[in-house]
Amino acid sequence: MRRNFWNRSTKQKLAFNRPDALQIGAFKLTGLLKITCTVVFCFILLIQNFALPAAVAASDNTPNASPDENNYILDRTITWADGTIECVQIDNEKFIHLDGVKRKLVGVVLHSGSMPYGRWGEFYLPENMALYDKELDYLESTGVRVIHTNLMYVRCYTNCKSIENERKAYVDYLDLLYQHKMLVIPEINYKGDVGFNNLEVIKFSWTNYSGQPDSIEQWALRWGKIVGGYSNVIGVVAEGEMDCLTETDRYPAQAVREYMTFLVNTLQVNFDGPIICKLMGTEIKEPEIKKASLSAVDFGGFDCYATTVAKMDSRLNQLHSQLTGFGYPTTGWWCLESNAGHPIDINNFKSELIETIFAHGATVVTIFAANWVAEPTWQLFDTNGDPVPAMVQLAKDFDRLQTPVTEQPSYARFNQVLNSTTTIAQVDDRWEYISKAND
């Protein structure tokens, strides 16, 4: 069962998943040791409540301190398909905390457009879903937790023209991501499509290629209701790169401001979570459109492309200057696309580029893109769903890139007290009790 929480004051601190085991956070203790450790833990809590507050108050540089619960913009408990429970939080600096552990995260863009089977956007075909499943198995094994994906309009296809078919396509796809324990950032994007008409009308409508009438308002309401039913959807992206104008896509900043405000308000009817815009981070263009987009959302997301560390550093410094001019913070943003480019070539994308993006204030970096069959040098997986050599090389650095920024203090204290007889080992971001063998 999926559960959706947008509750800043609710935290999952104690969970009981098995009748024969006490679980504290992710500790599992059984038998006589369960009773002993329960007593010890209660004693620790007494000391913590009476002795620690004074010590903490006396120091402004207390290590491993967790942010106050009021500083979370998202505080959600996820019950995964296998029955495990995870607390996912986003603090005001836009860092993601997993079970109390604050960390920078590396993710992947799972694109729903250029897939090996069917036409552009038919991501829901069984053959494509099987590829996604295989790719997600690999990503899960490398420690990837974040997926950014464009959940595009599908009612233009004859095999998906009804609202019921649209819902099934989205649900099947989101269910798969949920099964793989991915934290999902879906994007709703209609820029440049039929009826958009350069925002001459803000609440525009259209007749799709299947002859069905629809509108941006009705689609956004349906879309928001579906993604809002998934507790692992931790934020949504409203439109993509509105600051990327072309010969055919040209609209004024004021129209963007009105449209983005309308779209965000529409999404919020059914989605309780952060809403983000997605702009060009390494193309310093259309400052008024950037400013208009940022004004409508909870925080910004940027796409970052450069062939070298020096170029990435220079371009992101320019972005900082632009954001400072807006009066907008230069830290606490998510990189929603990254690769070596232009031209884009995954073979030239190194972990040093990810580190450079982190160094410029990003807390999440997602790599573009898992699949793009029209441009093989862009993609992390081949048409069989196997990782390309560049992906395998990048994955070797994921653990290092995602090293925790802080450690959960209660776990650290618990480890110190029990150190003489036990070890608390951290495995795959979870804490697990391991008994020392008696010599």
Task: Give the tens place of pLDDT for each residue, 337-386.
Answer: 999 988 999 999 999 999 999 999 999 999 999 999 999 999 999 999 99
Q: What is residue 194's DSSP assignment?
A: T
Peptide bond into 148 cis (omega under 30): no
pLDDT for residue 318 = 98
pLDDT above 80: residue 412 = no
Instruction: Give the pLDDT confidence score for residue 64 in this predicted structure.
Output: 36
CB neighbours of 365 closer than 8 A, spacing ≥ 6?
Answer: 104, 105, 106, 107, 304, 334, 335, 338, 354, 357, 358
Residue 70: predicted pLDDT: 62
User: Which amino acid is present at 10?
Assistant: T
Q: For residue 437, what pLDDT band results from cuts at 50, 70 and 90?
A: very low
User: Residue type for 310, please?
Assistant: A
Please state, in angstroms and rounded to a whole number, the distance separating the CA atoms of residues 198 and 79: 42
Question: Which is more confidently placed, 271 or 40?
Answer: 271
What mean pLDDT do residues 258-270 have? 98
Q: Determine what percent of the chain is predicted with pLDDT higher than 90.
A: 73
Lowest-pLDDT range of 259-268, 322-331, 429-438 = 429-438
**Residue pair 90/74 in contact by the 8 Å Cβ criterion:** yes
62 compared with 233, residue with greater pLDDT = 233
Alpha-carbon distance of 288 to 290, in angstroms, equals 5
- Tell me how far apart the alpha carbons of residues 312 and 283 are, in angstroms, rounded to a whole number: 11
Whether 122 contacts 134, CB under 8 Å: no
Indicate the SS3 state at residue 260.
helix
Tokens of 357: 């993006």
Residue written as token pair 């959706």: 4
Retrieve residue 105's tokens: 């995260």
pLDDT band (50, 70, 90) for residue 430: very low
Q: Among 68-72, 227-231, 410-414, which is the least confidently predicted range?
A: 410-414
Q: For 21, list phi and psi in degrees, rounded to 5.
A: -145, 140
Q: Residue 73: enclosing H or E segment and its boundaries? A: strand 72-79
Q: Which of 10, 11, 30 is nearest to 21 (CA)?
A: 30
Domains and CATH numbers, the chain: 22-88+405-435 (no CATH), 105-401 (3.20.20.80)
Residue 432: phi and psi, rounded to 5, are: -130, 135
The pLDDT-based confidence of 43 (bands split at 50, 70, 90) is low
pLDDT at 50: 43
pLDDT (average), residues 417-436: 34
Handedness of CA 223, 228, 229, 230 (dihedral sign): positive
Alpha helices by DSSP H, 341-439 = 351-359, 389-395, 398-401, 409-418
Cα gap 87→84, rounded to integer Å: 10
Neighbours of 53 (CB within 10 A): 10
Read off the pLDDT band of 210 (50, 70, 90): confident
Higher pLDDT, 389 or 54: 389
pLDDT mean over 186-196: 95
Q: Report the DSSP beta bridge partners of residue 240.
A: 278
- Banded pLDDT at 133 (limits 50, 70, 90): very high
In this predicted structure, the answer to whether residue 411 has a pLDDT above a threshold of 60 is: no
pLDDT in tens, 136-182: 999 999 999 999 999 999 999 989 999 999 999 999 999 999 999 99
**What one-character DSSP code corresponds to residue 186?**
E
When the pLDDT of each residue in the chain is averaged and rounded to a whole number, the result is: 83
Q: Which residues contact 257 (CB under 8 A, 6 or more apart)?
A: 292, 293, 295, 296
The two tokens of residue 394 are 């990048």
What is residue 235's predicted lDDT score, i.e. its pLDDT? 98
Q: 70: which 2 tokens?
A: 């009021």
For the segment 322-350, the average pLDDT, to the nearest whole number, is: 96
Q: Do the beta carbons of residue 280 and residue 319 sit within 8 Å?
A: no
Of all residues in the chain, the percent with pLDDT exceeding 70 is 76
Whole-number pLDDT of residue 69: 52
